[in-house]
Amino acid sequence: MKLIFLGTGSAFTLDNYQSNILIDAPEGRLLIDCGGDARRSLAEHGLAAADISEVYISHLHADHIGGLEWLGLTTYFSGSKDDPSLRPGLHVHHTLVDDLWLSLHGGMGTIQGRVAKLDTYFDVQPIERNGGFTFAGTEFRTVQVVHYYDGFEIVPTYGLLFEKSGLPVFITTDAQVAPNQMNDFRDMADFIFQDCETAKFWSTVHAHYDELVSLDDEVKGRMWLYDYQDGEKPDCIEDGFLGWIEKGQVFDFNDPESFRRMIK
């Protein structure tokens, strides 16, 4: 099984595609988030909509769901219209299902002669509280992370924690540093794939490099950084991190060294 970073950039990247991640396994392909760049980043790897077996959605920002209209409509008119077994599986926390369809409805709510629903295009598999899902024989656990507040309430956003071939991995998706909430989950993983803002002006809704660099050296030594802004970046290896993930970088669970290899 391989973990492929189709893109590594922030929401507004022009250089590196948005941070959509592919898990490529003999049993199929799981897309972790599906931003607007998904079709181009997949095509760069020789893949099309029909090659995606399942999708996981962490939260509802456009760089994480903006490609679902393309994926759903393309698979629908390429075969799932007549054969529902061809619909991609869609794993999404149950609290997000209704709002996900609200976001997609304008472009996907009507097909000629038919009123459509989310399950017209996808095999929707809601994730229950403290739950997860199984793909390619591997259990993926959702971890609620702190991304941003809507007024006085935290908007639901979920990272992923899983283990394959003895390598426990934590993917934050989009998260603030929040050490009191995150450290327990970081400690469960040998390798942490951490979103990292590098902009001069902090958005305050992502972990920023200037915050992450102050973490304990042991934690930084297990951390790969992605979801960064275009342009020059600090020397994160010098600062104790494993490295900046490059667009298209592959982490192979059959090759543990691919998780440790430092790239400048």
pLDDT in tens, 74-122: 999 999 999 999 999 999 999 999 999 999 999 999 998 889 999 999 9
**Residue 161: inside a domain:** yes
Cα 219 to Cα 44, 57, 63, 141, 162: the distances in Å are 33, 26, 27, 21, 18
Mapped onto helix, strand or coil, the DSSP state of residue 210 is helix
**Residue 262: inside a domain:** no
| Sole residue written with tokens 């992502």 | 206
Q: Give the global pTM.
A: 0.95
Q: With a cut of 80, say whether residue 190 has pLDDT above it.
A: yes
Q: With a cut of 80, say whether residue 262 has pLDDT above it.
A: no
Q: What is the pLDDT of residue 118?
A: 98
**Residue 259: inside a domain:** no
**Residue 165: inside a domain:** yes
- How many Å apart are CA 12 and CA 17, to the nearest integer? 9
**Residue 18: inside a domain:** yes
Give me the domain span that covers residue 157: 2-254
Q: With a cut of 50, say whether residue 263 has pLDDT above it.
A: no
**Residue 260: inside a domain:** no
CATH number of the CATH domain containing 97: 3.60.15.10
Q: What is the DSSP string of 121-160?
A: HSEEEEEPTT-EEEETTEEEEEEE----EETTEEPP-EEE
**Residue 250: inside a domain:** yes
Domains in the chain, number: 1
**Residue 102: inside a domain:** yes
Q: What is the pLDDT of residue 178?
A: 84
- How many Å apart are CA 76 and CA 86, to the nearest integer? 8
pLDDT in tens, 111-153: 988 899 999 999 999 999 999 999 999 999 999 999 988 899 9
